[in-house]
Amino acid sequence: MRDIARWLLAAALVFAGVSHLFWARREFQAQVPDWTTEVFPIDKDGVVVASGAVEIMLGAGLALLPKEKRRIGAILAGFFVAVFPGNVEQYTKKRDGFGLDTDAKRLARLPFQAVLIAVSLWSTRGGVRR
């Protein structure tokens, strides 16, 4: 089950990362906190492109580097923690995106981040590391 979850997570990450770069850039910009452009010398589109590239790399790593799955899983969990403020900002600033067009939907999205963190850690544990 862990390997199946890891492969599904890898596929979802690559898909999401590619969507950051092409058809969903504006949707993802709704999740970028306003303060990011004050802290980092990059605009919201740059944040979306960079995070998309990271998602593609993490997804590819999960699929192609099984000996490093524990390390990648930990990095991925950290990534999911790092992007969580964007989900909070989308909720608090009432920004629509990805069908999250009501406060209830945006609020329901928030606990899902914990599920992603848990799956990234659980699916990359177990097995013998060589």
18-29 confidence digits (pLDDT tens): 999 999 999 999
Confidence (pLDDT) at 127: 59
Q: Return the SS3 of 28.
A: helix
* DSSP for residue 42: S
Could you read off the pLDDT of 46-88 as tens digits, one per residue? Answer: 999 999 999 999 999 999 999 999 999 999 999 999 999 999 9
Of 81, 75, 130, the closest CA to residue 110 belongs to 81
Residue 57 CB coordination number (10 Å): 15
State the pTM of this model: 0.90
Could you read off the pLDDT of 87-104 as tens digits, one per residue? Answer: 999 999 999 989 999 999
